[in-house]
Amino acid sequence: MAHRTLAYEAIADTLRKAVTSRSLPEGTVLLEGPIAALFDSSRSPVKQALATLEAEGLVRRFDGRGVLAGKTGEPQRLKITPDMLKLEDETITSPKTFAWQNFYYDFENTVILRAVFGSFRINELALARHYNVGRTVAGDILNHAVKNGIVTRDEKSRWWINPLSEDRFHDLYEVRMLLEPAALRTAMLRIPAEALSTMRKRLVAASEHFPAVASAELDTLEEDLHVATLQYSANPEILEALKRTRCVLVAGKHIQRAVRGTLPIDAFMDEHLAIMDAVAAYNYPLAQQALTSHLEQSSIKAKERLQAYLAMSDITPISYVLD
């Protein structure tokens, strides 16, 4: 199946071309808000696009808001126009192609923080009204949530929040500990060296800036190892089974952000680096050991965060959730 371009990938590609061609002068200050407006997008995919470009060395941080285009040049606060990004070119993917993605992050966050309290029904029409979109976009949001395991649909076509109890977290992590090392066995023989190198550079860059690392960047690092790398496995049945565990990876990031300030940010970069270095060396026993240890530690941290969140939170009304 052909890869469907994600919002942040299309935005990153457009910005990448603008930076490398110098249509965005070096030193131009890039802010999430103005860029999101140009793409008719939310800030979330813009944040992830900028994190991607930072890992590639095309933008850099400075003592101020946003990032700077290029590797050199003093900060320039220019008004970024569609012409500078060549948004009229026919080759640029229209943001309308992924309209649901502009709302999905907010929906995902809201639903996951409710899922820890149990199962609740979602009203599709109310969801459409909540985001001021059509039923088609609301359906796209829900179907993507189903793929990530955070929403289910029953035999009467009703949508339900998939509950995330402490026991379910434990069970899904146990499945990951069994299947991810098995998927890695063949994935490490098939992943291109260039792809692995790019992922490693992102890890190193994040480690150097930690804890001043954007949430979207942390998301990308998690997906690099637990999704992108494992997709090279030669066993499609393992990959299909792992899709059922995706919800704990997704839920973990939202719960971690919700309890920031009460628990420290998880600095997992060194653990990921140990795994990727073993993969690069084709040392499966070491990679297996490092991955298993990482998942065991992640399971413990996930339990602690879930307990912390439940202790500090109450159920609040959501316009499209039927209590």
What the block records as the tokens of 143 is: 């179907």
Residue 1 resides in a domain: no
DSSP reduced 3-state for 266? coil
Residues 307 and 192 in one domain: yes
What CA–CA distance (Å, rounded) separates 28 from 166? Answer: 46
pLDDT one-digit tens code per residue, 187-232:
999 999 988 998 999 899 888 887 777 666 777 888 899 998 999 9
pLDDT at 261 over 90: no
The model's confidence at residue 262, banded by pLDDT at 50, 70 and 90, is low
Q: Number of C-alpha atoms within 13 angstroms, CB side, residue 198?
A: 14
pLDDT at 1 over 60: no
- % of the chain surpassing 90 pLDDT: 54
Residues 188 and 144 in one domain: no
Instruction: Tell me which of 109, 130, 163 is where a domain ends.
Output: 163
Task: Give the lowest-confidence range in 62-66, 108-112, 316-320.
Answer: 62-66
Instruction: Tell me which of 163, 180, 197 is where a domain ends.
Output: 163
Residue 217: alpha-carbon gap to chain centroid = 8
Specify the CATH number for the domain of residue 46: 1.10.10.10
Task: Give the lowest-confidence range in 6-10, 139-143, 162-166.
Answer: 6-10
Q: Pick from 124, 92, 88, 91: which is nearest to 107 by CA? A: 124
Residues 204 and 245 in one domain: yes
pLDDT of 29 reads 93
Residues 198 and 303 in one domain: yes
Task: Give the lowest-confidence range in 83-92, 150-159, 289-298.
Answer: 83-92
Range of the domain at 143: 101-163
pLDDT at 102 over 70: yes
Residues 184 and 249 in one domain: yes
Residues 180 and 302 in one domain: yes
Contacts of 162 (CB under 8 A, 6+ apart): 115, 119, 149, 150, 151, 152, 247
Model pTM above 0.85? no
Residues 178 and 306 in one domain: yes
The model's confidence at residue 302, banded by pLDDT at 50, 70 and 90, is very high
Task: Give the lowest-confidence range in 27-36, 86-95, 204-213.
Answer: 86-95
pLDDT one-digit tens code per residue, 14-24:
999 899 888 89
Residues 171 and 308 in one domain: yes
pLDDT at 165 over 70: yes
pLDDT of 191 reads 92
pLDDT at 3 over 70: no
pLDDT at 283 over 60: yes
Residues 89 and 174 in one domain: no
Instruction: Tell me which of 95, 125, 147 is where a domain ends.
Output: 95
pLDDT at 92 over 60: no
pLDDT one-digit tens code per residue, 228-248:
899 999 999 999 999 889 899
Residue 321 resides in a domain: no
Q: Count the domains in the chain.
A: 3
